Amino acid sequence: MDFGNSFGLVETYLPLHIIAIRLTIAAVLGAAIGFEREVHTAEAGLRTHILVAVAAALFTILAFEIFHTIQTANNTNPDPIRAVEAVTAGIAFLGAGAIFRSGGGVQGLTTGAGMWLAGAVGLAAALGYYVVAAGVAVLAVIVMAALRALSHRIIGSKGRRSREER
């Protein structure tokens, strides 16, 4: 019996410090996306995006841990992509909940898309694609912040204010 198992820790395929790093990266990148939403007073802001990114990362890590455990124990071919699909569908459901009709327009599209993207970033971080996850998070912040400023310049402050940006 090793030290970890004597305290009830389950042996993992990935070292625990790698799991912690991947979850932390997911949280930091989710925070970057969520911070932009928080600044613009969106309903789903910093905390929501962090939770979505970390949850997606955790579900992905658990799916691959289970995959390696079952594959080693039973000589079977489990499909971890099903878990990734379930995570994606769950996050899409949350994102859809952020979108609603108000008067003649729709609000929350950017927030819903940001939540969905935060989940994808968490998934990428969980798989160890740190550069991809970071690049996409930076691109998301640029798209949400810089393009907002550009559209306000082009349309003007008295022009149509896009409701999906909330």
Q: 119-161 pLDDT, tens per residue?
A: 999 999 999 999 999 999 999 999 888 877 777 778 765 555 4
- The tokens 């108000």 sit on which residue? 102
- At residue 6 the predicted structure's pLDDT band, cuts being 50, 70 and 90, is low
What DSSP designation does 164 have? G
Residue 146: predicted pLDDT:
81
> How confident is the model over 8-33, as a mean pLDDT?
92
Looking at residue 52, what is its pLDDT? Answer: 95
- For residue 163, what pLDDT is reported? 46
Cα(138)–Cα(38) distance, integer angstroms: 16
State residue 17's pLDDT score: 93
What pLDDT is stored for residue 109 in this prediction?
83
Q: What pLDDT, in 10s, does the model give residues 83-129?
A: 888 888 988 888 888 787 666 777 888 888 889 999 999 999 999 99
pLDDT of residue 164: 46
Q: What percent of the chain has pLDDT over 70?
A: 82
pTM comes to 0.80
CA distance 37 to 43: 8
With a CB cutoff of 8 Å and minimum separation 6, the contacts of 23 are: 54, 57, 58, 61, 125, 126
**Comparing 74 with 145, which gets the higher pLDDT?**
145
Q: What is the percent of the chain where pLDDT is above 90?
A: 39
The pair phi, psi for residue 4, each rounded to 5°, is -65, -45
Cα(150)–Cα(21) distance, integer angstroms: 36
Q: Where are the domains of the chain?
A: 13-165
Q: What are phi and psi of 118, to 5 degrees?
A: -60, -40
* pLDDT for 1 beyond 50: no
